[in-house]
Structure 1
Amino acid sequence: MELRRAAICHECLSALRQPVRTSTTTRFAPISLYIQQSSSRRALSARAHNERLRSTGRSAPKSSHSPIGILESLLIAARSTHTVSSVDLNALHNRVSTLANSALRPDDGKLPEEQRVLYVLEQFDALAQSLIDGHNADAAKTAGADGGGDGKADNMTTATSALLGSVNARNYPAFISKASVLNLISERAEELLRHPNIFITPAILRSYVDLQTLLHRPASFPDIFHLYAHKPLPQQAAQPNASITYQPAAPDKISAAVDSKTANTALASAITAHNLPLAIDIINTTLCTPAFKKSKILRQLAIPISGLAIAPLAAYTLSAQFGEWQNTMDPSYATGVAMAGILTYVASVTSIGYVAITTANDQMDRVTWAQGVPLWERWIREEERAAIDLVAGKWGFQGLEKRGEEEGVEWEGLREFVGLRAMVLDRAELLEGME
C-alpha cells in the first residue's frame, strides 16, 4: 500500500514545528510522535496505577484493550516464543553432547557398559523422534530426566541453556536449528560405535541401525557392519592404573554375524534413500559373510542334525522291543530287519524334505539361481538371493510387461553383480509372454 504525502499549508507547518502544548497541535503532529507521547503517558499512568494497587494490596491487570497495547502484547508473545524455541534447541544440542560424553568417559574410569551405551542411543532416538514430530519443549523436558544420575551435567546444561537463551533473545537469529541437532545426534551416535573402548553388541548394533534409519542417514551402515566383525575387543586390565588392552577379532566366528532383521532394516533404509551402491555394500557386509552362513547352520540345522544323530540309537531301541514282542522269527534277525526298515524310512523322508526345501522357488521374483549351483549352496545363500531380488524389484519397472527393458549404468552394474553371485536377473523363459 503506497502512502501519499498530503498538502499542508505554511501556517500548519509552522504550527507543527512549535512545541506540543495544546490539543490542536497534537492533532496535527506526526503519527510517530503521537505514539511516543501515548506510550510515555501510558507508561507513567500504568506505573502510578500499579503503585496505587500495590499500596491497596491488589495486583495489576495482565492485559490491555487498547490497539497499541494489543500490538505490544503480540510482539512480546512472538519474541518469547522465538526465545523458548531457541532455548529448547540449545538445551537439546547440549544434552546430546552430555549424553555422548557420559558414555565415552565414564566416571569410574572403566570400560563403557552395554546398558549405558544402549541408554544413550535410546535417548538419542527419543530426542530425534521429538524433533521430527516438532515437540521441542517436550523433548527438552524428556532429555532433562536422566536415569544415569548426571545431576551435575544437567545443572551445567541448564545454566548454559539459560545463557544461550539470553543471547538468542537479541535481534539476530539463532545459530542452532533442528537440522543441526539431528546431524549432531547422527554424528555422536556414530562416534560411540567407532570408539575403540566400546564393544559393539548385537543390541547396540540394532539400536544404532534403528536410530540412523529414523534420521534417514544410512551411509555409515557398511562401515559399521564391517567394524562389528573386525573391531578389536577391549579388555579391562586388573590393575587400576594399567592401560586397556585389545584382542584381535575373529570375523568368521558365529558371534560376528549380523542379525537378519538388522540387515533387512538397514537394506530397507538404503532402498528408501535410493542408493544402489549402498544397498549392495550392505548385502556384502551382512548376508554374504561366512559368519552369517555359519550362524544360519547353527540356528536352523541344530535340531534336525541332532535328531539325525540320535536316529540310529532310537531305531535300535525300537527294533529290539519289536524283536522281543514278535514270535515268528529269531529275535536278533527281527531286530535287524526292523532297524533297517526304520532307518530307510527316516533317510527317505529326510532326502525328500531336503530336496523340497532347497529347490523351492515360489518366493523368487526376478533373481533366480544359475544352472549348476548346488542345492546346499542355494539353501545357505537364500537370504542373500532374496535381498538382491528385493533390490532388483525396487529399481526395475513394476509392471510385468515392461520387465527386461530396463537400461542405465546402475541397472547394468546390478546385472553384473547378480551374475558374479551365480544368479540370473530376469531369466528369459520366466518373463511375461516368454513361456
Structure 2
Amino acid sequence: MPRPIVAPRSRPLCQICDSVINRRLYSTNPLLRFRNPAGSRAHYGKPQLGAKTAQPRPLVSAVLPTRNSNSTPGSRNIHDTTGERGDPVKQVPRAAPKSERAELSSITNMMTYLEKSKLKVVSDRRIPPEADVMAALQACYIVADYIMDDTVKPQITHMVNELDSTAAELLSLDSTSNSKSSELSEDTSAAAITAQVKQIIDMVSDTAYEVISHPNVFITSELLEKYVSVQARLGRPESLPQVFQLYASKPMPREAAGSISYAKQNPNRLANAIQPKIIEKALDTAIEAKNLDAAVGIIENSYSKKAFIRNKVVRQCALPLATFTAAPIAAYILATSLSGLQESMDNDTATNVAFIGILAYVGCTASIGFVAMATANDQMKRVSWAPGVPLRMRWMREDERAALDKVSCAWGFREKWRQGEEEGPDWDSLREYIGQKGMILDRTELMEGMDY
C-alpha cells in the first residue's frame, strides 16, 4: 500500500538564520570551510556541551624536498654541515606531521592553533626536525594571510568584539583594560578594536620569531624564506636583520648520547650566503613599511657579508675562469694547425708566433670587456662609486650598491629636479652611511642637468 505523505517539520527561525549566515561565510572565505566526520558543515560559534571539539590542523601540509650532499653553493643542510673539528651534525630522523586543517572561526582557535604549532618546536628537548619547524612557520603564515586579507577584515572585527575569556588570556589582556573598554564610547571602542588587531599581528610575528630563533632550530634556506614570507605578509621587517645575522652566526645544534651541544659557525662560509631572492623580498618589505633602520640592517647583514661576495665569485666566475684556464691549450692547438698552412718559416717558429698572437688578442679583448663591465654606470640612479675604488671591488659589491640605490630612491623625492634637496636626520644618516661604504649619494656630475 502507498506510504502516507508526511509533512516536513518546520525549522525554527534561528536555525534558518544560522544556515544562511554560514552559507555566506563559506562562500566568501574558503579558509573557513571544513567538514565534520558525518560530512555536514560545522556550526560557527562555541561548541555545545558534550560535543567533541575539532582539533586545529594546518591547512597546508609542509612538503619538504629531500636534499643530498651534492648541493649547490650557498645551500645549507644540517646533515652535511660540519663543526669546528669536522665531525658532522647528527639528527635523529623523525616522521613528519600529518596534513591537518585549521579552524579559523574565532580568535581563540587562531591563537590555539599557533600555540600548538609553536609548542611542537619549543617544547622538544631534542633537535626538532625541519618538517615541524616548517609546519609552525606555515601556521603563522596561514593566520597572517587570513588576518591581513581585506575581504575578511569585517569578520576579524566581529571576532574581536566577541572575544571570550580564553582569547583574552592568550592575548595577555589584563583586567584593567577590559574594565576600561566597557566604558568607552563607540569611537574609542573602534580604536581599541584596532589596537587589539595590531596586538594579534604582533603575537603572530613574535611566534614566528620564537620558532626560528630557538636554540635547537637549525635555520636552513627554506625556513628563512618562509620566515621572510610571514613577516612580509604582516608588514613587520623589524626582526629580519637579526634573523639574517642568526642565519650565518647561530651555533649549530648537535645531538649525541641524548644531550645537545652547540658548535660555532663560520659566518664567512659559502653555505652561509643568503639567496638574492630572499634578500630582495625582505628589502621590499622594509621599504613598504617605511622602516629605514630595517632596510639598512638587511643590506648590512646580507649583501655586505663576505659569504655573499665569495658565493657570487664562485657562481659567476666559475665558467670564465674555466674558459681562461683552457684558453692557452686551445690557442696552442689552433696555432699548431695554422703553422701547417704557411711555408715562409719553419713550423716551430710559426706555431710560437701564432700562439702569442692568439693569446694577446684574447687577453686584450677580455681586459677591455671587464673594464667596460666594471665601469658601466647606466644602472646607477642616485648612488655611485667614489673615485679610487678598485674595479674588482665595484663588480663584487655591485649588489650592495644597487640595494642602497633602491633605498635612496624610495626615501628621496620622486621628482628628478628635486633630488638632492632632501633634509632630515634620517637622510643625513643614510648619506653618511653610504659615504662610509666607498660610495657617493647624488654625485653632482652625474645628476640631470649638471653634466656640463
| TM-score (normalised: structure 1) | 0.70
1:383 counterpart = 2:399 = yes
Distance 1:187 1:296 in 2: 33
Q: C-alpha deviations, 1:105-158, integer Å up to 9, x for none? A: 45xx6422223322332232123212322559x99xxxxxxxxxxxxxxxxxxx
1:433 counterpart = 2:452 = no
Q: Which amino acid aligns with 1:98?
A: K
Distance 2:237 2:196 in 1: 21
CA contact (8 A) 2:218 2:252 kept: yes
* Aligned match of 1:191: 210
For residue 329 of structure 1, give the secondary structure of its aligned residue in structure 2: coil
- Structure-to-structure mapping, 1:30-429, within 5 angstroms: 60-63=9-12, 88-105=106-123, 110-133=126-149, 179-237=198-256, 239=257, 242-324=258-340, 326-429=342-445
Q: Which amino acid aligns with 1:112?
A: P
Change (3 A) 1:73 1:322: closer
Moved more, 183-192 or 286-295: 183-192
Shift of 1:178: 5.0
CA contact (8 A) 1:96 1:184 kept: no
Distance 2:376 2:402 in 1: 13
Distance 1:177 1:408 in 2: 33
CA contact (8 A) 2:335 2:354 kept: yes
Distance 1:91 1:260 in 2: 36
Moved more, 183-192 or 326-335: 326-335
CA contact (8 A) 2:216 2:253 kept: yes
Q: Which amino acid aligns with 1:370?
A: A
Shift of 1:287: 0.9
Q: Which amino acid aligns with 1:220?
A: S
For residue 362 of structure 1, give the secondary structure of its aligned residue in structure 2: coil
Structure 2: state its 5+ residue gaps.
23-42, 48-102, 157-165, 171-181, 183-188
- Structure-to-structure mapping, 1:5-16, within 5 angstroms: none
Distance 1:221 1:389 in 2: 20
Distance 1:246 1:326 in 2: 70
Q: C-alpha deviations, 1:6-43, integer Å up to 9, x for none? A: xxxxxxxxxxxxxxxxxxxxxxxxxxxxxxxxxxxxxx
| TM-score (normalised: structure 2) | 0.68
Distance 1:205 1:75 in 2: 43
CA contact (8 A) 1:89 1:178 kept: no
For residue 301 of structure 2, give the secondary structure of its aligned residue in structure 1: helix
Distance 2:253 2:289 in 1: 34
Distance 2:130 2:351 in 1: 57
Q: C-alpha deviations, 1:319-357, integer Å up to 9, x for none? A: 223334544432222221221122111101110110011
Shift of 1:185: 2.3
Shift of 1:262: 1.2
Shift of 1:431: 2.6
CA contact (8 A) 2:126 2:260 kept: no
Q: Which amino acid aligns with 1:99?
A: S
CA contact (8 A) 2:237 2:286 kept: yes
Q: Which amino acid aligns with 1:342?
A: I
Q: Which amino acid aligns with 1:365?
A: K
* Aligned match of 1:28: none
For residue 286 of structure 1, give the secondary structure of its aligned residue in structure 2: coil
Distance 2:11 2:263 in 1: 68
Distance 1:81 1:118 in 2: 29
CA contact (8 A) 1:221 1:266 kept: yes
Structure 1: state its 5+ residue gaps.
1-55, 65-69, 140-159, 165-171
Distance 1:75 1:374 in 2: 72
CA contact (8 A) 2:382 2:409 kept: yes
Distance 2:418 2:104 in 1: 52
For residue 212 of structure 1, give the secondary structure of its aligned residue in structure 2: helix
CA contact (8 A) 1:222 1:278 kept: yes
Q: Which amino acid aligns with 1:351?
A: S
CA contact (8 A) 1:105 1:112 kept: no
CA contact (8 A) 2:148 2:233 kept: no
For residue 376 of structure 2, give the secondary structure of its aligned residue in structure 1: coil
Q: C-alpha deviations, 1:293-329, integer Å up to 9, x for none? A: 1111111111101111121122122222333454443
Distance 2:270 2:104 in 1: 48
Q: Which has the higher contact order (CA 8 A, sep 6+)?
A: 2
Larger radius of gyration: 1
Greater percentage in helix = 1
Q: C-alpha deviations, 1:58-109, integer Å up to 9, x for none? A: 6541246xxxxx9x98799999866599953212211111112223345xx6
Distance 2:233 2:438 in 1: 34
Distance 1:309 1:75 in 2: 76
Distance 1:424 1:245 in 2: 46
CA contact (8 A) 2:250 2:264 kept: yes
RMSD: 3.3
Q: Which amino acid aligns with 1:214?
A: R
